[in-house]
Amino acid sequence: MTMQSLRSNKRKPTHPGAILREDILPELGITQTDLADRLKVSRRTISEIIHERRPLTADMAIRLAHFLDTTPESWLNMQQAVDIWELQNGNDKLYKNIKKFVYEAAA
Amino acid sequence: MTMQSLRSNKRKPTHPGAILREDILPELGITQTDLADRLKVSRRTISEIIHERRPLTADMAIRLAHFLDTTPESWLNMQQAVDIWELQNGNDKLYKNIKKFVYEAAA
DNA sequence: TTGTATTGTAACTTATAAAGTTACAAATTA
DNA sequence: TAATTTGTAACTTTATAAGTTACAATACAA
C-alpha cells in the first residue's frame, strides 16, 4: 500500500539538541560542563538534551536565547515539531477516531 | 524610566483558549460538552483551556487540528508565545544573570 | 604513560502540572 | 418550570523535568 497522506511520511524533525551538539558547542568551543554553568542548569540537563533524551523546554529556550543572542522561538519551534511528530507517530490510532467537524443542515 | 528594550513591553500574547472561546465555539455552534466528546477529552479539560487556566498542549493541538482541519502548529505557536511571555515576565531576575557568550581571544 | 578533565548515566528525590472523575450549585435556555 | 449547560472544588493518578551524588569510561594533555 503506497500511502502518501499520513504526514508520518515525513521523517522525524531535527531535535534542537542535535543543533546544540553538532553546531553550537563545536562552534563556541566550550564544554558541556561550561555551558551548564553559564546557563545555570545542571550538567545533566545539558547532557540529556544534547543526546535528545529530553525536550528542550521553554525555560531552556530562553536561557539559550540570552546566552547566544538568538530568539527563544527559534529553539522552541524545533522542539514543537518533534513533539508533534512523536505524538502523531504513536497515537495515530487515537487521533484517527477524531472526526472532522461538519456543519449540520439547519432543521 | 522609558525602557524600551525588555521585550516585556509587548503585551501578553493571546491564549489559544481565547480563540476557541471567542471564535471557534460560536462559529461552530456547539457546546463545550459536545466539543469535549468529539475530541475525546473531558469536559473539564475544555473548560480550563477556554478560560485560559491551562496551556493548550501538543496533544490538544493535534486533536483540534483533526477536528477543525487545521494544523497543530497554528495552535501550538500561540501557546508557545504565551509560555515564553510568562516565563520572561516572572523569571526576569534569573535570566538577566545569564551573560551573553563572547569569543575569547586565542592565547 | 600517567594524571586530570570531561562525559554518560544509574539511582534516587523533589516539584510541578496535565488530566480524569465525581459532585454540586449556578446560570442559561428551551 | 424543567432540562441542559457550565464553572469549579476536591481528590487521585500519571508523567516528567530537573536536581544531586556517585562512579566508570573515555578523552586529552603534560
With bands split at pLDDT 50, 70 and 90, how would you rate the model's confidence at B105?
A: low
- What share of chain B has pLDDT > 90, as a percent? 80
Which secondary-structure segment (H or E) carries B80? helix B72-88
A12-62 confidence digits (pLDDT tens): 999 999 999 999 999 999 999 999 999 999 999 999 999 999 999 999 999
Please tell me the predicted confidence (pLDDT) of residue A76: 97
The pLDDT-based confidence of A105 (bands split at 50, 70, 90) is low
Q: Is the pLDDT of residue B106 over 80?
A: no
Asked if residue A21 keeps its beta carbon closer than 7 A to nucleic acid strand C, the reply is no
d(C-alpha A34, C-alpha A37), whole Å: 5
pLDDT, tens digit, for every residue of B60-83? 999 999 999 999 999 999 999 999
| Least confident piece of the model among A7-11, A33-37, A85-89 | A7-11
Third-level CATH fold of A16-96: 434 Repressor (Amino-terminal Domain) (1.10.260)
Q: Is the pTM of this model over 0.85?
A: yes
Bigger pLDDT: B13 vs A104:
B13
Report whether B24 contacts B49 (CB < 8 A).
no
- Report the sign of the C-alpha dihedral through residues A5, A86, B19, B38, in that order: positive
> B68, A40: Cβ pair inside 8 Å?
no
- B49 in Cβ contact with B17 (< 8 Å): yes
A100: which chain B residues are within 8 Å (Cβ-Cβ)? 66-69
CA–CA distance, B56 with B53 (Å, rounded to integer): 10
**Cα–Cα–Cα angle for A88, B25, B60, rounded to 5 degrees:** 20
Structural contact between residues B95 and B88, judged by C-beta atoms closer than 8 angstroms: yes
Q: Where are the domains of chain B?
A: 16-96
* Chain A residues whose beta carbon lies within 8 Å of the beta carbon of residue B87: 58-59, 62
Q: How much is the pLDDT for B107?
A: 45
Please give the single-letter amino acid code of residue B65.
A
